[in-house]
Amino acid sequence: MPFDAEAFVNQIQTTATTDEAAGWVQNVDQAYIQTQMENYKTQLETYINNNLQNATVGDVLGNQQIIQREDVTLPAALPYDQVFVQEKFSEVPDQQRHTFQFA
């Protein structure tokens, strides 16, 4: 379903007050946005119901499959380069543990 994003943004920009230098926008026509989104939602639902009656979410949005890899043994090293080791220890020191208290 096509959506004219440029016209949508232009309409919002013509009715809103913006200050790009200060980085703020005000008086955005929320009713216009809500109406346009509801209209697009209705068009999309109608299209799906008329053309893809038995469609799954994957059929509509697209599917991706995870390719499972089954290694027999664990690798001897990590799959990425080690940049540096700051410290090695067998137990996390107290100063590096997160603690909390209830009062």
Residue 5: pLDDT over 80: yes
Average pLDDT estimate for 89-96: 88
- The DSSP-derived string for 14-72 is HHSEEETTTTEEE---HHHHHHHHHHHHHHHHHHHHHH-TT--HHHHH----------S
pTM of the model: 0.53
| Cβ atoms of 12 and 30 closer than 8 Å | no
Average pLDDT estimate for 59-65: 87
